[in-house]
């Protein structure tokens, strides 16, 4: 009588379970990276719009050819289908012919500024 040894083919249940665990972990890390990128994209879009709002308001203030007061002034602007809250003030400099103009823009009233610009305007 001859004994024939059969060679094992395929994978054991343990090997399959281990492979599935590795794939699941890799899938979760890919999903976390994608959701983080999506959150960052929304933040960068808001920051870009806030900088545009600040630049627009700065140009308007320069064209008005009058200096805003040294206390904070607040207003709201509509831009890109969203309300933006703008604060601005002038800051005294050592030269009386120049003043610094600070502009802050937020997407939430009384919130942290998403954009901050400073420029200098002449008399």
**Domain assignments of the chain as residue spans, ordered by start:** 14-122
Overall pTM > 0.75: no
Give the 3-state DSSP-derived string for the chain, with helices as H, strands as E and coil as C. Answer: CCCCCCCCCCCCHHHHHHHHHHHHHHHHHHHHHHHHHHHHHHHHHHHHHHHHHHHHHHHHHHHHCCCCCCCCEEEEEEECCEEEEEEEEEEECCCCCEEEEEEEEECCCCCCCCEEEEEEEEC
User: Regarding the domain delimited by 14-122, which CATH topology (the fold level of the hierarchy) does it fall under?
Assistant: 3.30.1300
pLDDT at res. 8: 67
pLDDT-derived band at 62, boundaries 50, 70, 90: confident
pLDDT at res. 84: 95
């Amino acid at each position: 009588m001859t004994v024939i040894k059969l060679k094992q083919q395929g994978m054991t249940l343990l090997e399959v379970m281990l492979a599935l665990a590795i794939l699941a972990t890799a899938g979760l890390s890919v999903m976390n990276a994608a959701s983080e990128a999506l959150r960052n994209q929304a933040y960068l879009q808001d920051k870009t719009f806030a900088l545009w709002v600040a630049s627009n308001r700065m140009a308007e203030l320069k064209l008005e050819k009058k200096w805003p007061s040294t206390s904070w002034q607040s207003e709201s602007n509509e831009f890109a289908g969203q309300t933006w809250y703008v604060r601005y003030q002038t800051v005294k400099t050592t030269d009386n012919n120049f003043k610094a103009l600070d502009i802050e823009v937020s997407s939430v009233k009384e919130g942290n500024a998403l954009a901050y610009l400073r420029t200098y305007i002449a008399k």
